[in-house]
Structure 1
Amino acid sequence: MRRESAATPHSFKKRILFRFLAVCVALAPFVAVELVLRIWMPLPTRQSFGGVDDDPLVDLHQLRPLFEPSPDRTEMQIGPQRSNFFQPASFQQTKPENGRRIFVLGGSTVQGRPYATETAFPKLLEIELSTAFPDIDWEVVNCGGVSYASYRLDVIAAEVLRYAPDGLVVYTGHNEFLEDRTYAGFHAIPRPLARGYAFAARSELVRRLAWIVRPSDDQERAGTAALIPEEVDARLDHAGGLQDYQRNLDHHRSVVRHFELTLRRIADRCHRANVPLLLCVPASDIVETPPFKSTLPADTTPAMQSLWQRMHDPDQSPEVRLRMAEQILVTDPENAAANYLLGRAAWEQEDYENAAAYLLKARDFDVCPLRATSTMEQIVRNVVREAPKDQVIRLLDVPQLFASEASNDVCQPALFVDHVHPQIHGGHTRIAAELFTQLSSIGPLGLTSSKASSEDRTAAVNAYLGGINEAYYHRGKQRIEGLRMWAKGRAGGDGSDR
């Protein structure tokens, strides 16, 4: 008995070693194939090869590259056929030896709406960088597409990573609910497995296997993933589009999970390409902007309908309307209109803590979500915080940058021209200045000490903005009303059901 007892630890170690070697032998062929594929047979571009690297939830195969060669082939440019969604932008075909190239991806905020790219933060960032580092040939390329959501930007990110970028800046989150799409089977996918799609994309072998087994017929593929048209088809671009938005918690959660999956895939792309990434938390106004649509639950009672009507009745006193809102929230705590009414009242009474709580709920429970929710803001932060330690990734928390003195949870409403678009002065200028600080601290960019102070950079930006003629600013102000009407559902949506 003593002999067997003495031999037990040795036998246990042998069994563990044997099993470990057996696993290694079993995995060796796969590791060998993976190395061969990575080193000698790398995949072509994303547009010409799909599989797991494609979005697993929507079919994006109809999307086309954003850039094309210029007529003289000296530059890559956004083609004129994309002018309904993008402003002109280009960069040199041959990158200068002293060149630095930054791509900025996003929606209409990146494009500078209601103005244009001339006064958007990517252009102002380029001025700051050129002022501070004049010996470098800077190209800050504006890839802001009107109404472009993260899943469309993911395709652009895959494309621009082929153009020798020195960094990517991504500002997205407000457009995720604009296009009508379904998520067949997505509810059954556990969150860890959904995140695993992005991890699986790192394997060359898995991507090739996915290409082999993926449906070749468009109709068959459309049965498992929503077909996304070549360009944005926003519901609010159609008369009465606001009516299409209804309370649907399952769909809302799927959109948010899709947003998270996409951001993680963009971050993984940049990690694999060894390109620095700067993610921006999108900011929005919640004080001056009421919910775009608020409704009662489908199974509401006549008593709730009465409360709802009295809350919206302008002939009722403010005290009565507030009391109706409080009663509605007892039964329907996710009612956006009731939360907003109580939030504005608390804000005006300088009860900022309660005001922030109500106003954030009013935005987050908006039936027509045209602003990134609190959960989506946190997702951006989490993607940066949970990134691999060897990844060069930074966070620009714009809501914190725009925070009011009254509450860190509420952006200063004066910094916005509407629900999401920042003012040029104080908005875009502030984002550009903070991006400069973030980018200038990234080691791989190889930037030495700045040759201009903060005051010099600010003066350069102000001089540039002051040189733009008044007609430009006047056209931008004229577009503001158009944007407001669009957000109300255009001609068919008067906002009466809010």
Structure 2
Amino acid sequence: MKLWLFRIIAISLPLLLLVLIEFSLRWLFPAEPLPLFKSNPANPAYLVTESQIVKRYFPQGAQVPRVELEPSFVLQQKPADGIRLVVQGGSTAAGYPYGMGAALAGMLEQRLRRTFPERPVEVVNTALSAVNSYTLLDFADEIIALKPDAVLIYAGHNEYLGLLGVGSNYLAATSPRVTRWLLSLRKLRSFQLLEQAYQKLSPLPETSSGNSRTFMAQVARDKNISLDSPTFQAGIQQFNGNMRRLLARYQAAGIPVYISTVVSNLADQPPFQSLPLNASQQQQLQQLNSLSQPAQQQQIANALAQEAANSGHALLHYQLGQWYRQQGQSDLAKQQLAQAREHDLLRFRAPLAINDQIKALAKQHAAILVDSEAAFIANSPQGLVGNSLMLEHLHPNVQGYFLLADSFYRALYQQQAFSSWPNPVPADIAWQERPLTPAEEHAGYLRILQLTADYPFKAAPEPVQFPEPTAYSEQLALAHVQGKLDWLSMQSQLVQYYHQQRNGDMLLKTLLIIADALPHNGQANLQAAQILLQAGRKGEAKHYLQRALRTHPAPPEAQRLIQTL
């Protein structure tokens, strides 16, 4: 007995000493915590997401990428009859370059609120640009604490060249297990102080915080990740390991997960990095377009296809895909264009193996698969996903974002999530009511001009030439992108403009967008409720009046109106 007691004391003393050191350091050298959700200072009834959450992954004082989480609000106390969803993912899930209105959370919340007018609906966004499966896993416990009715995931493009990606300048460790271990240790104050001391001795490379280059221009360390290379396989293993843990955690908590396949631009995005075409290949491609005999064309095409397959030549695959596309041979075009993406050495687009992993993981962990890629294919000319739905290599345009949100909406409806659906909203009505103003849509277009003026779309950064505005909304968008006008001021000026123009539909849409962005603002939500009542939409008006009444002081008019419902 004494021997066992001695052993317990021998083991416990070092642990107690470490705990004592940790708490002493927290008291002597306090640090601001970075929870994913914090109390909203404007209204304590709500939590709000931490916009600077990316700082979690860097030592204090280090330069960090200019990546921010858009504010998303959630009630501290979930209503008994409330519907609460949480969205996880990268820049596409976050709605880049348009913002929250195009985000999965924004589009779904607007449509679900119309579907369930008598129930409080919250779709909480935790997606942000550049992050990958490490961040999704890191957020899991805080998301579980919200007790969501489901978690929606759209992720997979950033495993190679995102934060902590295997080919990224922001790599923490080459081993996923070590990286996860480091992320856990970074929560300790003792480890944070050691990390800061190390950083002073060995500063991290300068990031985009110090200049105007885009994140894509800063992040790529490994620009030559060939298919099935060790680095390629490491990215797949990293994604599988993190997502397997993430889905298992939600499964253990009894939280349904809807996980989507990811989509990229096959038809109109050339490989970012490839071997150049040699003289013989160029000559044969020219012959394909000049010969008039189909048999001769097919002979050359077959030879080039075999050569591309043997050499893994991404650009040759792409050019062949374009030729098949012009010939109307969509199946062969898709095969070649898919191989062009697979052999693109600069991996800003997820390879096929990521979607294979998503489908397998969904089966293994009883998650609901949302096949967004299939929806994009079905809605693309010749079944080739390209510029009709995409802005560049992987971000959808407004139509594409609507299609992505529609895929999740349909999956939720098919599963009859949240019990019966009293008022399913048809896609055409949801499209007309999409929560984006023309100014936001134009601002997104301008941001893409900025993105594509730098690496990897250009070898060196080029000056951005914005087009002259042709409408008032475009003037506001330009001022917003140039930093001369904040988002709320842009929307408020649109409200005045639509009121002057007597455009009731756009006035209603814009007031609702402002109210949803500011749930803690009583006056904004009262205005939204008033215009909804004028439109005869009492169920939705009640939601905004209830939000107005949670503010301090609550508008007296909100109390009067809610008593009339």
Q: Distance in 2 between matches of 1:460 and 1:398?
A: 18
Which residue matches 1:169?
Answer: 152
1:365 to 338, 343, 346: 343
Flag the 1:284–1:330 CA change in 2: closer, same or farther, 3 A.
Answer: closer
Structure 1 residue 317 displacement after superposition: 6.0
Which residue matches 2:490?
Answer: none
For the pair 1:280 / 2:260, whether they are aligned, the reply is yes
SS in 2 for 1:102: strand
Which residue matches 2:134?
Answer: 151
Is the 1:123–1:140 contact (alpha carbons within 8 Å) kept by the matching residues of 2?
A: yes
1:251 to 231, 235, 238: 231
Q: Distance in 1 between matches of 2:94 and 2:395?
A: 10
Q: TM-score, normalised by structure 1?
A: 0.67
Which residue matches 2:121?
Answer: 138
SS in 2 for 1:117: coil
2:401 to 428, 432, 441: 428
Q: Distance in 2 between matches of 1:184 and 1:475?
A: 37
2:451 to 483, 486, 496: 483
SS in 2 for 1:110: coil
For the pair 1:338 / 2:329, whether they are aligned, the reply is no
For the pair 1:308 / 2:291, whether they are aligned, the reply is no
**256-265 or 399-408: bigger deviation:** 399-408
SS in 1 for 2:433: helix
SS in 2 for 1:254: helix
Flag the 1:472–1:185 CA change in 2: closer, same or farther, 3 A.
Answer: closer
Structure 1 residue 258 displacement after superposition: 0.7
Is the 2:101–2:434 contact (alpha carbons within 8 Å) kept by the matching residues of 1?
A: no
Unaligned runs of 5+ in 1: 1-47, 49-61, 202-207, 223-227, 297-306
Which residue matches 1:447?
Answer: 419
1:114 to 70, 73, 97: 97
Structure 1 residue 166 displacement after superposition: 1.0
Unaligned runs of 5+ in 2: 1-22, 24-31, 54-65, 163-167, 199-203, 291-296, 463-565
Q: Distance in 2 between matches of 1:335 and 1:88?
A: 43
Which residue matches 2:308?
Answer: 329
Structure 1 residue 157 displacement after superposition: 2.5
Is the 2:259–2:362 contact (alpha carbons within 8 Å) kept by the matching residues of 1?
A: yes
Is the 2:330–2:382 contact (alpha carbons within 8 Å) kept by the matching residues of 1?
A: no
Which residue matches 1:470?
Answer: 438
Is the 1:105–1:142 contact (alpha carbons within 8 Å) kept by the matching residues of 2?
A: yes
Structure 1 residue 406 displacement after superposition: 8.3
Flag the 1:252–1:356 CA change in 2: closer, same or farther, 3 A.
Answer: same
Which residue matches 2:429?
Answer: 459
Structure 1 residue 114 displacement after superposition: 1.7
Structure 1 residue 107 displacement after superposition: 1.0
Q: TM-score, normalised by structure 2?
A: 0.60
For the pair 1:260 / 2:240, whether they are aligned, the reply is yes
Structure 1 residue 118 displacement after superposition: 1.3
Q: Show CA shifts across 1:291-341 (max 9, x none).
A: 111137xxxxxxxxxx62564699966659977955752651x12111111
Q: Show CA shifts across 1:446-494 (max 9, x none).
A: 422x222443x642441344xx543222111111122223451666379
1:382 to 360, 385, 391: 360
Flag the 1:470–1:359 CA change in 2: closer, same or farther, 3 A.
Answer: same
Flag the 1:255–1:218 CA change in 2: closer, same or farther, 3 A.
Answer: farther
SS in 1 for 2:93: helix
2:393 to 419, 425, 436: 419
Q: Distance in 1 between matches of 2:40 and 2:414?
A: 34
Give the 5 Å matches for 1:165-204. 165-179=148-162, 180=168
Q: Distance in 2 between matches of 1:441 and 1:415?
A: 24
Q: Show CA shifts across 1:132-171 (max 9, x none).
A: 2112100001222011112112112232111111110000
Is the 1:286–1:413 contact (alpha carbons within 8 Å) kept by the matching residues of 2?
A: no
Is the 2:86–2:126 contact (alpha carbons within 8 Å) kept by the matching residues of 1?
A: yes
2:373 to 385, 396, 399: 399
Is the 1:239–1:491 contact (alpha carbons within 8 Å) kept by the matching residues of 2?
A: no
Is the 1:353–1:407 contact (alpha carbons within 8 Å) kept by the matching residues of 2?
A: no
Flag the 1:158–1:458 CA change in 2: closer, same or farther, 3 A.
Answer: farther
Q: Distance in 2 between matches of 1:484 and 1:119?
A: 20
For the pair 1:66 / 2:36, whether they are aligned, the reply is yes
Is the 1:343–1:354 contact (alpha carbons within 8 Å) kept by the matching residues of 2?
A: yes
SS in 2 for 1:417: coil
Amino acid at match of 2:238: H
Q: Distance in 1 between matches of 2:396 and 2:310?
A: 36
For the pair 1:354 / 2:332, whether they are aligned, the reply is yes
Kindly indicate whether structure 1 or structure 2 has the higher relative contact order, using CA contacts under 8 Å at least 6 residues apart: 1
Amino acid at match of 1:169: L
Is the 1:102–1:140 contact (alpha carbons within 8 Å) kept by the matching residues of 2?
A: yes
Amino acid at match of 1:161: I
Which residue matches 1:9?
Answer: none
Amino acid at match of 1:429: F
Amino acid at match of 1:263: M
Amino acid at match of 2:150: G
Q: Distance in 1 between matches of 2:401 and 2:449?
A: 20
Flag the 1:409–1:475 CA change in 2: closer, same or farther, 3 A.
Answer: closer
Which residue matches 1:437?
Answer: 410
Flag the 1:169–1:475 CA change in 2: closer, same or farther, 3 A.
Answer: same
Structure 1 residue 431 displacement after superposition: 2.4
Q: Distance in 1 between matches of 2:384 and 2:233?
A: 24
CA RMSD of aligned residues (A): 4.3
Percent identity over paired residues: 24
Q: Distance in 2 between matches of 1:138 and 1:421?
A: 27
SS in 2 for 1:282: coil
Is the 1:132–1:452 contact (alpha carbons within 8 Å) kept by the matching residues of 2?
A: yes
Is the 1:122–1:140 contact (alpha carbons within 8 Å) kept by the matching residues of 2?
A: yes
Q: Distance in 1 between matches of 2:422 and 2:216?
A: 51
Amino acid at match of 1:148: V
SS in 2 for 1:101: strand
Q: Distance in 2 between matches of 1:63 and 1:232?
A: 24
Structure 1 residue 411 displacement after superposition: 3.0
Is the 1:325–1:341 contact (alpha carbons within 8 Å) kept by the matching residues of 2?
A: no
